[in-house]
Structure 1
Amino acid sequence: RKKSDPKANLRVLEIGADAGGYFKYFPIFICLDSNPHLDEYSKKKIIEFPYGNLKEFIVGFAEDMFKVLDDSVDAAVCTLVLCSVNDPKKALKEIKRIFKPVSICSRAHYCSII
């Protein structure tokens, strides 16, 4: 991405960051994952992408993102996450809390949320 790109300042939170499969798509990234061992891996992985900027790796859960400030992210990516959390409704409330007034949430899942 070019620095003049309007998406250059887009702050994206990836919930359930895992192996960093989306790092190449977003310039400013905050990762949230319950696996503390992915922190170092993520820092190494982000180097592969010239415009990637890993701001923070947060060890935590989608249902309790207390380390993420209110109204602090423009977009959230949660792929194959909502079907595996203990409380999907609480996770969605947390996503709503951290969003700036105009935000985007992208999700993909392979199982139903009841």
Structure 2
Amino acid sequence: MPAADQNTTPPGFSITLDADASEPRVVVTGELDLLTSPQLQETLGALITDKPSGRVVADLTGVTFFDSSALNVVLQAQRQAAEKAVELELVPSPQVSRVIELTGVAEHLSVSEEPPA
């Protein structure tokens, strides 16, 4: 029997990219964990690399679980964005806000409580 496909997306998880908007945004729903965080890293990394400057919005209002691997991805994306003169703005769900609060990394992130228009 073949090994399980490690790239299988769990039910309820999705990443939607709207790169054509004036402020590109990534919308994530479901659980962001060790299995799904690499997909967010790839999406944000490509978007930040391709954006010469400006702002990128990561809409995490649909995230139901957020672990340390997801937090690491967001912090790495923030560093990458700063190097490219791109503002990365996070719009967190309550679960994401709680992890940011508990870990004390809010000062390193641009967090908005307002969902993107």
For the aligned pair, the TM-score class normalised by the smaller chain equals 0.3 to 0.5
How high is the TM-score relative to the length of structure 1? 0.37
Higher helix share: 2
